[in-house]
Structure 1
Amino acid sequence: MIDSWLHNLPIWEMAIVCFAASFLVGWAIHVVTGRLAAGPHGRSWMTVSPGLLSPIGVIFGLLVAFTAAQVWTDTERASAAVAAEASALRSVVIVSAVLPEGPRGQIRELVKEHIEHVVDEEWPMMARGDVTLKISPPELNKALQLTLSLTLETPGQQTAQREVATYLEQALEARRQRILVSRSEVNPVKWLSLIFLGGCLQVTVALVHCHNRLGSAVSIGLFSAGFAAAMLLILAHDRPFTGQVAVRPASLLQVMPDS
């Protein structure tokens, strides 16, 4: 419903688009209702009850609240998945220090390559919504296979082997959650419902105040500003990994091993 170019705009440009569209529609409604009120059926238009504002406003407010809750929950899930993946990979780096030098260096190098792959390739794909679970992380798979194939003698190294394998599995699960949430967005039906109800409220406000042109303009302007602010809030958080306020891979970069 909402094109990717709009999600990738800076916040101030996104705000301009939202407020301009809302005020433009509000101005058009104000002009049309003014002409209707001045026409032969003007008295009929003026009989629209102000009581209509309450039920439509409640429905609109609930829809905005539920939609905002969805996008905020998706953002929290995305942040939690990235943090879990970073924590698991950090544990792999720490626990692998107990392993022999050769396998330890290979595992750390594979973790480093995985993080670089995530930042350079997966993150842009998640921003576009193109990444899927069909794309398997080869570096983590190799690290897990290498860990499980080791033949170790000391109890400490055997324990470290099990722990590294567990943390790698946790990193794979966190990556899966990260990819799943990257494909979350407000569906077209919700967007259409929000826009339609917002338009209905603008029309109702205009009709209720059509006998007072200045009052109508002020009321429509105030509602248009609130409507644009609500749309901006939802739009900015619609896709967790897209846009200026998107989730970033900073926590993953912080745990990248030096060697």
Structure 2
Amino acid sequence: MTAILGTYDHYGYAAIALLGTFFGAWFLLWITLRSPWAEEVRLWRGVSPPFLGVVGVLFALTLAFLANDTWNAHDRALNTVYQEADGLRSIDALAEHLPAPVKAKVVNAVRDYARVTVTEEWPLLARRQSSKEASDQLDRLLALLAGPDVSASAPTGVHGLMLAQATQVRAARGLRIALSQTHVNPLKWLGMAFLGFLTMISIAMVHVDQSRAEILAMVIFAAAAAPTAAIVLVQGNPFQPPTVVHAGPIAALLDGDAKTR
């Protein structure tokens, strides 16, 4: 259970963002409108409305930067999967220049790696894990391409290109695994939450002598900020729901192989 909570911690943070924002809004409304100190708080009336924009902009920029990090991680993961698939396809294409027995070994090694990656490793990525079998299959492919059979039978330049593509596949897989380890950074989100709370305090003080306007402004801010933060948080890992980077580009290698049989 602890491992599951640690793996999907971003859902917990999203719930905290939702509940915490609305609780903070309720608390400030209670302090300024219903608490025994409401009259004393109103003595601080007179905060200029433009002041609200200063804190609000800082909060908005912080949330925008965090959202940008999340979208960039998703885009990098997607690009990495396509690079990995492109490297495997390139090895396949270059293998056409090899004698039939050597070509068969290379093609089978590519298919074995793709099959283990899609069927075994991909489900593990959602749990921030990787497959040793996939790593072993990639090592076998690299050893085969660097071995005497391929180097002796490949035309000039083809062998170097095949090794370069295999290196690209290894680098892409390493980055894919690294991105699957993505965790929510509590310190970044704590700073964002602090700025959000200061923004709500600013809203309360600007409208402290206009109760209806204060309630409306606070509700609007909470309704805008809390779901936005939660949406960013639940998409913190590109290999976990709700927006999962799928293995389609690599699986297409296996689909294409099945159609030719």
Normalized against structure 1, the TM-score is what?
0.82
- Please give the alpha-carbon distance, in whole angstroms, between the structure 2 residues aligned to 1:4 and 1:83: 25
Partner of 1:73: 72
Partner of 2:54: 55
- Offset at residue 145 of structure 1 (A): 1.0
Which deviations, in whole Å up to 9, do the C-alpha atoms of 1:124-164 show, x marking residues without a partner? 333233449x9971112111211222346987545443332
Partner of 2:8: 5
| Aligned ranges 1:106-121 → 2 under 5 Å | 106-121=105-120
Number of residue equivalences: 252
Q: Which moved more, 1:174-183 or 1:221-230?
A: 174-183
- Offset at residue 84 of structure 1 (A): 0.5
| Aligned ranges 1:102-181 → 2 under 5 Å | 102-131=101-130, 137-151=135-149, 157=155, 159-181=157-179
- Please give the alpha-carbon distance, in whole angstroms, between the structure 1 residues aligned to 2:8 and 2:29: 30
- Offset at residue 86 of structure 1 (A): 0.5
Q: Does 1:25 align with 2:24?
A: yes
SS in 1 for 2:242: coil
- Offset at residue 27 of structure 1 (A): 2.3
| Aligned ranges 1:155-234 → 2 under 5 Å | 157=155, 159-234=157-232
- Please give the alpha-carbon distance, in whole angstroms, between the structure 2 residues aligned to 1:205 and 1:61: 14
Relative to 1, partners in 2 of residues 1:218 and 1:63: Cα closer, same or farther, differing over 3 Å?
A: same
- Offset at residue 252 of structure 1 (A): 1.0
- Please give the alpha-carbon distance, in whole angstroms, between the structure 2 residues aligned to 1:69 and 1:26: 26
Note if contact 1:8-1:242 (Cα within 8 Å) is conserved in structure 2: no
- Offset at residue 106 of structure 1 (A): 2.6
Relative to 1, partners in 2 of residues 1:194 and 1:3: Cα closer, same or farther, differing over 3 Å?
A: farther
Q: Which moved more, 1:123-132 or 1:102-111?
A: 123-132
Note if contact 1:89-1:171 (Cα within 8 Å) is conserved in structure 2: yes
Which deviations, in whole Å up to 9, do the C-alpha atoms of 1:154-184 show, x marking residues without a partner? 8754544333222111111111222223333
Unaligned runs of 5+ in 2: none
Partner of 2:100: 101
SS in 2 for 1:206: helix
- Please give the alpha-carbon distance, in whole angstroms, between the structure 1 residues aligned to 2:151 and 2:10: 54
Relative to 1, partners in 2 of residues 1:155 and 1:131: Cα closer, same or farther, differing over 3 Å?
A: closer
- Offset at residue 194 of structure 1 (A): 1.0
- Please give the alpha-carbon distance, in whole angstroms, between the structure 2 residues aligned to 1:113 and 1:155: 22
- Please give the alpha-carbon distance, in whole angstroms, between the structure 2 residues aligned to 1:184 and 1:24: 28
Q: Which amino acid aligns with 2:136?
A: P
Relative to 1, partners in 2 of residues 1:212 and 1:135: Cα closer, same or farther, differing over 3 Å?
A: farther
Note if contact 1:205-1:219 (Cα within 8 Å) is conserved in structure 2: yes
Note if contact 1:37-1:46 (Cα within 8 Å) is conserved in structure 2: no
- Please give the alpha-carbon distance, in whole angstroms, between the structure 1 residues aligned to 2:124 and 2:151: 43
- Please give the alpha-carbon distance, in whole angstroms, between the structure 1 residues aligned to 2:130 and 2:49: 49
Q: Which moved more, 1:108-117 or 1:31-40?
A: 31-40
Q: What CA RMSD, in Å, does the superposition of the two structures yield over aligned residues?
A: 3.1
- Offset at residue 3 of structure 1 (A): 5.5
- Offset at residue 216 of structure 1 (A): 1.3
Q: Which moved more, 1:54-63 or 1:151-160?
A: 151-160
Unaligned runs of 5+ in 1: none
